[in-house]
């Protein structure tokens, strides 16, 4: 059996490691953070993801997954080494590759036999060659002679569905220039290969571009339906029915046609900006993707402005209290990166509005991301605590428990009756019959 080493125990690295161990692989996960490694070794997941905790405990018990800070040993013993560290955006929108290249340096320092080095991190086109050159140069400096291959194997994980996406992916993309490396990667994903999961075998640069192209397209689709939602509000149409009818067209599909306050998270904002920068560096302008980025920013601003303008008609904003349900950028995750809630709350607070916020998983991260607004925000124990004596309720993230909320109880607890359903969770006629002033998105 080929031993697997995964360097980086963040969101992607941990999920990938746990699922590969579930596939029967012998997996060692490496990180420089000693405290994180100690907790993971005890079965304590630091990432909130449905199903991850139980799989982690199971595979620790069966000794198929191990955690260490000893990168020397992990590199020497691993036949396939995944690089799964962060590539955060720089100020100019390009991906910061410093952590990827630090890992490449470490691999080059300790590599002593043939390895397959796998870029799992989302990286710009050309990074595979950069990693290859970095490792080769360092090996040469050691006066050593070691063979290795570099592979691009992008992840397509949806936060909140990442474990399922790893266990049952739509496709596996392998970018490699060596048949030897391709054969070893097929062994890694043997369970999926046997189950006839589609495999896309291509060169490294194509695999690197596939990841950005997919995320940019989905971002375009979201921004498109959000712009249609703005038009629907102006002309008196219902965006839910528009989207449903559009989705019936097999060329379009209903996925990612859900109007809302804009996209966020770790992928779409970062990857759309990155691919725009990559294009500019090669003398091209991605006008459609750039428009999607601008439209997404506009959607967040429009959502905030609708709330402010509406409640200001009857409530003094300096005395207004707004309840916010959902802080994470989507349900079933604690990720607040570029979440629409951040910009909406900042805009409301700037107008003197006080916030009562609740999210099943996002509040810990929200407290430091919204530190400058801390004095104006009260973090509540549940959704009903949040609406107590509030003038308006804003549903930003569509967690399932909000879908089943007792709206009559909510109405009784509130001081005023504004309901801004930014995710179109509730039926308008039901909310209005209860007594809410209901405002959806594109309805």
Decide the pairing of beta strands 172-175 and 199-202: parallel
Is the distance from CB of 269 to CB of 338 less than 8 angstroms?
A: yes
Give the span between the Cα atoms of 383 and 413, in whole angstroms: 11
Is the distance from CB of 413 to CB of 384 less than 8 angstroms?
A: yes
CA atoms within 13 A on the CB side of 282: 10
**In this structure, is the dihedral angle defined by the CA atoms of residues 388, 391, 397 and 403, taken in order, positive or negative?**
positive
Exactly one of 166, 267, 359, 380 is catalytic; name it: 267
Beta strands in 161-278 (DSSP E): 172-175, 199-202
- The strand pairing partners of 66, in sequence order, are 28
Helix 204-235 × helix 239-247 angle, to 10°: 140
Neighbouring CB atoms inside 10 A of 274's CB total 24
Residue 32 structure tokens: 């420089």
Instruction: Write the burial class of residue 77 (CB in 10 Å: 0-12 exposed, 13-18 middle, 19+ buried).
Output: middle
Decide the pairing of beta strands 115-119 and 148-152: parallel
Reply yes or no on whether 267 is catalytic. Answer: yes
Residue written as token pair 């005023």? 416
Q: Give me the active site residues, please.
A: 267
């Amino acid at each position: 059996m080929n031993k697997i080493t995964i360097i980086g125990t963040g969101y992607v690295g941990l999920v990938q490691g746990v699922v590969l161990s579930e596939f029967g692989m012998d997996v060692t996960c490496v990180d420089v953070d000693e405290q994180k490694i100690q907790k993971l070794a005890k079965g304590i997941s630091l990432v909130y993801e449905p199903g991850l905790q139980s799989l982690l405990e199971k595979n620790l018990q069966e000794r198929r997954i191990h955690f260490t800070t000893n990168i020397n040993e992990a590199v020497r013993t691993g036949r396939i080494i995944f690089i799964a560290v962060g590539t955060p955006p720089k100020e100019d929108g390009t991906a910061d590759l410093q952590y990827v290249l630090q890992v490449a340096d470490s691999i080059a320092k300790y590599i002593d036999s043939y390895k397959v080095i796998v870029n799992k991190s989302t990286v710009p086109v050309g990074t595979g060659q950069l990693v290859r050159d970095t490792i080769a140069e360092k090996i040469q400096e050691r006066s050593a002679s070691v063979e290795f291959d570099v592979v691009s194997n992008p992840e397509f994980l949806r936060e909140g569905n990442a474990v399922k996406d790893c266990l049952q992916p739509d496709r596996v993309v392998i970018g490699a220039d060596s048949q030897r490396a391709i054969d070893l990667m097929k062994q890694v994903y043997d369970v999926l290969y046997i189950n006839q999961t589609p495999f896309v075998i291509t060169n490294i640069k194509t695999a690197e571009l596939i990841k950005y192209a997919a995320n940019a397209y989905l971002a375009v689709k979201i921004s498109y339906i959000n712009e249609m939602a703005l038009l629907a509000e102006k002309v008196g149409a219902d965006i839910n029915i528009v989207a449903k009818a559009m989705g019936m067209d097999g060329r379009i599909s209903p996925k990612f046609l859900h109007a809302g306050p804009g996209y966020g998270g770790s992928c779409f904002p970062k990857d759309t900006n990155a691919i725009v920068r990559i294009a500019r560096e090669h003398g091209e302008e991605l006008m459609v993707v750039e428009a999607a980025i601008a439209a997404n920013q506009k959607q967040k601003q429009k959502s905030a402005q609708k709330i402010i303008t509406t409640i200001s008609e009857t409530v003094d904003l300096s005395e207004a209290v707004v309840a916010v349900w959902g802080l994470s950028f989507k349900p079933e995750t604690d990720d607040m990166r570029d979440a629409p809630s951040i910009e909406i709350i900042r805009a409301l607070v700037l107008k003197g509005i006080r916030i009562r916020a609740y999210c099943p998983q996002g509040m810990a991260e929200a407290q430091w991301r919204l530190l400058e607004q801390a004095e104006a925000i009260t973090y509540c124990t549940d959704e009903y605590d949040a609406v107590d004596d509030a003038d308006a309720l804003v549903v930003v993230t569509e967690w399932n428990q909000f879908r089943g909320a007792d709206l009559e109880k909510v109405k009784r607890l509130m001081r005023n009756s504004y309901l801004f359903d930014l995710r179109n969770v509730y039926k308008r006629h039901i909310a209005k019959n209860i007594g809410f002033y209901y405002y959806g998105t594109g309805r």
